[in-house]
Amino acid sequence: MQRVAIAGYGLTKFRKSNDSLYTLACESARDLFQNAKNLSQQDVETVLVSTCDNEQYTSSIISEMLGLRPKISHRIENMCNSGGNAIISAYSFIASGLCDVALVIGVEKADSPAARLEWDISRGSFKHPAHWAAMFAKSHMNAYGTTEEQMAMVSVKNHDNALMNPKAYFQNKITLDDVLYSKPVVEPVKLYDCSAPCDGAASLLLVSEERAREFGDQPVWITGIGQRTVSASFSKVSDLTRMESTALAARDAYARAKIEPDMVDVAEVHDAFTICEILAYEDLGFARKGEGGKFAEESQFGIDGKVAVNARGGLIGTGHPIGATGIAQAVEIVAQLRNEAERRQVKDCKIGLTHNLSAAATSTTIVTMGV
């Protein structure tokens, strides 16, 4: 079995703009070509595009625009979890021996059709994700005494982190009161508990072990992968105090990587809403069941020895260009493990994790990485 490394990354500024899907995608890929030393167009054998946009044939169009003639090329969609899926696909194409060098590009416009899931009739007004977030939040509050203040602390921390990330959409310091008195969306979820759609793109270069040092001397290895889809429908979620797909995927990823949760130094978790980050602390094994709220309180002060969560600002601070998010999370982990995260660098980090999910956490992708 081929080992697979990440050897380069690229990112656009997350923003709202009139730039097209293609402009955004190419901008992040060009940033990657700057980052991955000696990479030439001829090296790229696979181009995978992660987007929920309705454009057709995007992977071929973007390849042509970038002057690439890939062997393997297609678009991957799984709503907010598209990026995670694209990464594991690229991993597989390399690990299976079909290629050595794969470019993965996640891209989305702010007006993405994936902002709502139209399909699930059983949800009624639950098509908008704030409704399921509210159900998760209320259930966890009822069961474990989690508070609106603890949820707000997640938003404050992630906005603070985003201030140190020049690519983040949000660049404003907020207070607990700003969150608590922001516009009510669905009780107890308020505006600042939510991530916001925006434009953005992110690119990753995955390479085989054989070629791992050709494009830079700091390959970051993919050590574990876990993925699970438990349903598509919110009405099928039986336990609203946990994200089942996340717990199952994390278990598989940790087993494959032969690590325990407390060994993770940096994690990018899918804080589509503040409650998701609190649930993720528990379902990823960073906090004991029911203690996610307490973990949020401690995290805001940067407790030593704990995993650093969402150093780039998460979805809440950075913005959520849907198909790009899973890739952007991995970009951050690679930057952290390569000690290239500048003002937001987490010290001495060796093991990182990305947590990418869709639609009421009905599916999750976990990727662990190490140096």
Q: Is 121 in the site for its own copies (CB under 8 A)?
A: no
| Catalytic residue of the set 26, 80, 99, 198 | 80
In this complex, which beta carbon is closest to its own copies, that of residue 117 or of residue 156?
Answer: 117
Q: Is 208 in the site for its own copies (CB under 8 A)?
A: no
Helix (H, G, I), strand (E, B) or coil at 253: helix
Angstrom distance (rounded) from CA 144 to CA 148? 12
Site string for its own copies, 28-67 (x = CB under 8 A): -------------------x----x-xxxx-xxx-xx---
In this complex, which beta carbon is closest to its own copies, that of residue 47 or of residue 186?
Answer: 47
Pairing of strands 184-186, 220-229: unpaired
Angstrom distance (rounded) from CA 161 to CA 268? 12
Q: Is 227 in the site for its own copies (CB under 8 A)?
A: yes
Q: Which of 34, 41, 96, 171 binds its own copies (CB under 8 A)?
A: 96
Give the pair of three-digit tokens for residue 192.
């600042």
Cα first-last separation, the chain? 19
Angstrom distance (rounded) from CA 191 to CA 85? 29
Buried b (16+ CB within 10 A) or exposed e, 209-241: beebebbbebbbbbbbbbbbbbbbbbeebeebb
Q: Is the dihedral of CA 221, 363, 188, 238 positive or negative?
A: negative
> 319, 197 in Cβ contact below 8 A?
yes
State yes or no: is 320 an active-site residue: yes
In this complex, which beta carbon is closest to its own copies, that of residue 81 or of residue 336?
Answer: 81
What's the closest the beta carbon of residue 208 comes to its own copies, in angstroms? 11
Pick from 83, 58, 82, 59: nearest CA to 71? 59
Q: Is 122 in the site for its own copies (CB under 8 A)?
A: no
Q: Which of 40, 119, 177, 255 binds its own copies (CB under 8 A)?
A: 119
Of 31-39, 287-295, 312-320, 354-362, the segment contacting its own copies by CB under 8 A is: 354-362
Q: Which of 228, 242, 320, 338 binds its own copies (CB under 8 A)?
A: 228
Q: Is 302 in the site for its own copies (CB under 8 A)?
A: no
How many residues of this chain bind its own copies (CB under 8 A)? 58
Q: Is 117 in the site for its own copies (CB under 8 A)?
A: yes
Q: Is 145 in the site for its own copies (CB under 8 A)?
A: no
* Residue with the two structure tokens 């799984």: 78
Site string for its own copies, 65-94 (x = CB under 8 A): ----xxxxxxxxxxx-xx--x--xx-xxxx
Q: Which of 38, 118, 172, 260 binds its own copies (CB under 8 A)?
A: 118
Q: Is 128 in the site for its own copies (CB under 8 A)?
A: no
Pick from 91, 104, 88: nearest CA to 50? 104
Question: 253: which residues sit within 8 A by CB, 6+ positions away?
Answer: 224, 225, 226, 353, 366, 367, 368
In this complex, which beta carbon is closest to its own copies, that of residue 233 or of residue 300?
Answer: 233
Helix (H, G, I), strand (E, B) or coil at 87: helix
Site string for its own copies, 230-249 (x = CB under 8 A): xxxx--x------------x
| Distance from the Cα of residue 367 to its chain's centroid | 10
State yes or no: is 26 an active-site residue: no
| Distance from the Cα of residue 207 to its chain's centroid | 20
> 216, 32 in Cβ contact below 8 A?
no
What's the closest the beta carbon of residue 6 comes to its own copies, in angstroms? 16
What's the closest the beta carbon of residue 236 comes to its own copies, in angstroms? 7
Binding positions for its own copies, rule: CB under 8 A: 1-2, 47, 52, 54-57, 59-61, 63-64, 69-79, 81-82, 85, 88-89, 91-98, 113-114, 117-119, 225-233, 236, 249, 252, 358-359, 362-363
Residues serving a catalytic function are 80, 320
